[in-house]
Structure 1
């Protein structure tokens, strides 16, 4: 799988688009808001810079993209007003893979700028926003050009499927699964962890070279509490997808070899694994970390109990928005409606027995002087 070519969130604003099915990500941004704002204000108070370079790595598209930008700008602007000094110039860079729906973002910018002008007044800013396509597993920006970097729900996507999964056991190491699972060979967990360690190390090293001396970095990603990488809290949502695919194999809709040869470029680390890479890379202090939980179906909370089929379909649409491009490139677009229908039914049955939550890790880092 060529990840840079096939990994993208569903574009546009249709029924299966990421823009209309990113409530889990919006909840994560909301829960991380205080940490992001505190880190951004601490950065400004350290430098009192007249111009700030801000990057959102893995920005995707839709309302969440500019929501994060707004929160960072608002926090710094409030601090400037409190200090009685003019707000800095904001240079904002939105980064994602080239297949991202940047056009939808750019079309929303005139309205965003107009709202800033209306809300902040004539003395604000100015603010300049640009797209920067490319993989964040490597350099994207010039040296010492960024002051604040944010990334939400992106770093758990790997740069590639671990190449070791194509070795051993007849050339396919993870037969019948598409991710880490209870039935996976121990070498599968090792391969995924090592790929994540390589990728996250490169992410941190690249950002450290791009950031100024006082730079700050806040990352939110899917992870796990458990030290067990096969824990259901991080893997079961994908096991249900594998079961849906294997049902289609049993009915002759797709070939079993197709399932055996597909693995997700994804890893959900523990906080201990994150910290180990941060310490090994060595460019950043870990200032703060939190673990938060979000329902698989974020609309189904204690105040808004939905029937299992509604919740199952909600989860299926959320997962389709982030995974369809990869699955369609391997299995073909023709089966996608059928696949996600089956998947939604399996999720519904699971949620009727257990209200399951995503585990999310939030870390705030500062660059070492």
Structure 2
């Protein structure tokens, strides 16, 4: 079965125990790490021109508390700058983008509280703010030409538009046996296929945004990456390695077919800084104003753990976080009935691994300016 990313990639919906809304603390931590970069970029943009109408887009908004918190932060920065200048804020058009299967209803249900908060905190000098959904893949055009002043995307661009060509489960030869993603035992052709798919996708992403943004507009991107040029480094792929091991541990018991594991390849890629910069330079529409690489604990760190999660082991917290993100894809391929057992085993393997190593994720935060 070929993975159709547009149909099966979405964070777990609702607000239940395995939902993304309840298990997105790591993503919230990533958003907070990029806050200073975000503020500097928006302030720099507003230094030269404050338009009467400002277009803002959050690409890969998902659902849950993080979705509108990002928009609130951006609005706070715009409001503070306009207040300092003694002028009203522009009218804001906010577009929340994700794939069509995203839980937009959860976001819509939060909008009344969002608007009430805006009115209470910014009762004077604040222009209208219009929030709308824009379903679709950001690997292509989404908005009219020169309609966006600020584009934001967090924890999304490491997802590819498709499984790399040649690795689809319909392919005749299994190239990445027993694995879900790049690993130290993956053939070189697998590494190259993933890298090429990232180059193609990121180039399309940049070309699309270059047409949609106004000259001088800012784009803030944050996604999983790596410091090393080696794509098999633990920082970028070992959480997938452990998930593959958890699945393979179920094969001898007849819970999972080995062929199913062999035929699954994650539509994911954590690029190096060099790969990212090369595509930006090749596309040519943007200049890099700032680039940071942050390390983050697999469970987000103790400062973001809520009381209910404090009683869980690190392995359990990581398993819940990963489950909220990848379960939709795994369920469509392996079936719903194994999910509880799979993530129980995964949590135990993660706990054992983290007790022996200090491996962390690397998150890249980049601020771009649309060239004049």
What is the TM-score normalised by the length of structure 1? 0.96
Q: What's 1:52 paired with?
A: 54
Change (3 A) 1:241 1:186: same
Residue 325 (1) aligns with residue 336 (2): no
Q: What's 2:221 paired with?
A: 219
Say which SS state the counterpart of residue 200 (structure 1) adopts: helix
Count of residue correspondences: 368
Structure 1 gap ranges (5+): none
Contact 2:29/2:304 (CA < 8 Å) preserved in 1? no
Which of 232, 235, 246 is residue 233 of structure 1 equivalent to? 235
Deviations 1:88-123 (A, max 9, x none): 111100000000000010011011001100000142
Q: What's 1:261 paired with?
A: 263
Q: Distance in 1 between matches of 2:236 and 2:84?
A: 42
Deviations 1:133-170 (A, max 9, x none): 00000001111111110000000000000022249995
Contact 2:87/2:125 (CA < 8 Å) preserved in 1? no
Say which SS state the counterpart of residue 287 (structure 2) adopts: strand
Q: Distance in 2 between matches of 1:75 and 1:235?
A: 35
Shift of 1:308: 11
Change (3 A) 1:303 1:142: closer
Q: Distance in 1 between matches of 2:249 and 2:293?
A: 35
Q: Distance in 1 between matches of 2:100 and 2:262?
A: 28
Which of 86, 89, 101 is residue 87 of structure 1 equivalent to? 89
**Following superposition of structure 1 onto structure 2, how do residues 17-28 of structure 1 map, counting pairs within 5 Å?**
17-28=19-30
Q: What's 1:36 paired with?
A: 38
Q: What's 2:365 paired with?
A: 362
Shift of 1:245: 0.5
Shift of 1:45: 2.0
Contact 1:96/1:133 (CA < 8 Å) preserved in 2? yes
Q: What's 1:62 paired with?
A: 64
**Following superposition of structure 1 onto structure 2, how do residues 159-308 of structure 1 map, counting pairs within 5 Å?**
159-166=161-168, 170-300=172-302
Q: Distance in 2 between matches of 1:103 and 1:303?
A: 26
Q: What's 1:121 paired with?
A: 123
Contact 1:286/1:364 (CA < 8 Å) preserved in 2? yes
Q: Distance in 1 between matches of 2:169 and 2:266?
A: 16
Say which SS state the counterpart of residue 10 (structure 2) adopts: coil
